[in-house]
Structures are given as structure tokens and as C-alpha cells.
Amino acid sequence: MEIRRKPSWLQKKVSPAANADMERLLAGLSLHTVCQEASCPNISECFRQRQATFLILGAICTRHCTFCNVGKASPLPADPQEPGRVADAVQRLALAHVVVTSPTRDDLADGGANHYAATVAAIRRSAPETAIELLIPDLQGDRKALETIQHAGPNILGHNLETVPRLYHIRAGADYNRSLELLRMAREIAPEIPTKSGVMLGLGETEEELLAVLTDLRGVGCAYVSIGQYLAPSRRHQPVVEFVPPERFEQLKAAAEGLGFAHVESGPYVRSSYHADRYHAADART
């Protein structure tokens, strides 16, 4: 496909020199980050601040979403030592807030739920003051798997809707209503744990569709939402339909706050875990 030329507000540069120290630490612990695997445009900014979003359960996804840069192949078995290595990294980096996510692992009976729980437990042992945010896949709607994760006691439980229902063909294997139900169940299982979701703009969605998604999220008790610009990782990925101007992000932020979200991050470079500590600092109105 033809790559659309980025406008002036989307010219953030990646600096390999700024990434080097973090890359060495992560490589030494054999850890993956979504910052690297998903080619996040914020990587240099976050790595310079010694922040990272850890990608557990390997770097291979069992689904084939056309917008995502995470690898697609046959994943390896879960590494039982990985939770301890993540906890070691959290301690070394002295993180006040950590985000842990994973590729979708439909090959695992529990979708990786027990591995998430083990990671939370390991971080609690080595860095008990660190706030833990989990960004989980849909677990194929398995309530028992979700209970395993919620009972581990994360501070925030996230699951991204990503886009509007009409465009869900880009999320191979996903289902909009199943994702909404997962967020609803999460609040039912552990009402004290705020939930969070995120959406991307620029895929051809309409304003009306976006507002409907935000309304649906509030309807299942979602407290936090991130709204950012979709950027195609390569010519092989879903093309960008529109580069959304910053002022529209501000308008959507105001609309989301009007719906009752406790905290909203909305801007061209916003991603699920970008400035994640700001959500935790907010007083969730649920």
C-alpha cells in the first residue's frame, strides 16, 4: 500500500542512542516490551525515562490483526521464569507504575491468565509499592481465566476495544461485544479495580461511531480511556485513512470527560500505556 505522508504534528523521532541502555537491560533479562515489538513511536521518550511496557508470554500472537506489528507464528510455551525476570526489571528500574501486557495466546487453555497472576505476585514480592496495570487480551471471554487475573489484585485492569464495531474485521478473531462483556465481568468480579480501554483513530470511523463506543465503555463501568492516532507500522498493515488533527483529540477528550470517565488521555501520540501513571493518580468515578 502507499504510505500517507505524516503531517507536521506527527514527526516524533526515534533515537537509537536514547534506547541503548534500556535495550541492554532488557536483553540481559531476556524480556520483551511492546515498545519494541509494536514499533511504538514513543519508545525513545519512554526509554529515556527508563520506562517500558513489558510483553509477557513471548512476542508471538496467535491472531492476525491487520493493524498490529507483533509477530504472527507458532508461539513458544510460557516461560515459568519470566515473571521473576519482569519483577527484577521493575525493581532495577524503580518503577512507581508498571504496565504488563501480552500477545493473544489462544493456544493456552487459560489464555495466559495464570502467567499474568504469577507476574503480579512476583512484582508484589520484589516491589510492593509499585502500582501494577495489566493490559490483557480477551481470553476468549473465559470468566474463570478473568477471575484468576482479577484475584491476583492488579491496580488497573485494561482491555482495548481498539476501534468501532463496523471496523472489527481488522481485529481477526476478536468480537466487539465479547470485549465489552470482558470489561463488564471484570468490574463484577472485582469492583474495586478500575478498568481501562483504548481506541485508535484514523481508520475510517465516524464521530457518531466513536461516541457510541465511549458510551458503551461507560455503560460497562470503564473508568479510564486512551484515544490515539493509528499509525501503520508498514506497507503490509492496515492503511491510515485519516491523520486526525490535535484539536479533534481535544474535542473527544472533552466529550469523554462529559460521559463520566475519571481520566482521559487523548492525542495523536497517545497509546494505552503512554503516561499510564496519570490514570492511577486519578480518582475513579465508577
State the pLDDT at residue 237. 84
Across the chain, what does the average pLDDT equal? 92
Q: List Cβ neighbours of 258 (8 Å cut-off, separation of 6 or more).
A: none
Q: How confident is the model at residue 15 (pLDDT cuts 50, 70, 90)?
A: confident
Span 146-164, pLDDT tens digits: 999 999 999 999 999 999 9
**In this structure, what C-alpha cell is assigned to residue 209?**
461511531
State the pLDDT at residue 69. 72
Q: Tell me the domains of the chain and their CATH numbers.
A: 16-278 (3.20.20.70)
Q: How confident is the model at residue 286 (pLDDT cuts 50, 70, 90)?
A: very low
Q: Is 8 annotated as a binding residue?
A: no
pTM: 0.93
Between 13-22, 134-143, 223-232, 257-266, the lowest mean confidence (pLDDT) is in: 13-22
C-alpha dist (Å) from residue 23 to 47, 156, 208, 244, 278: 8, 26, 42, 32, 25
Beta bridge partners of residue 134, listed in sequence order: 100, 157
Does 216 have pLDDT greater than 80?
yes
Span 53-66, pLDDT tens digits: 999 999 888 888 88
Does 284 have pLDDT greater than 80?
no
Q: Is 222 annotated as a binding residue?
A: no
State the pLDDT at residue 3. 57
- Compute the average pLDDT of residues 114-137: 97
Q: Is 273 annotated as a binding residue?
A: yes
Please classify residue 33 by burial: count the beta carbons closer than 10 Å to its beta carbon, then call 0-12 exposed, 13-18 middle and 19+ buried: buried
Sheet with 224-229, edge to edge strand ranges: 32-33, 53-55, 97-101, 131-135, 156-158, 195-201, 224-229, 263-266
State the pLDDT at residue 285. 40
State the pLDDT at residue 229. 96
State the pLDDT at residue 226. 98
Q: What is the dihedral of CA 12, 13, 14, 15, to 10 degrees?
A: -140
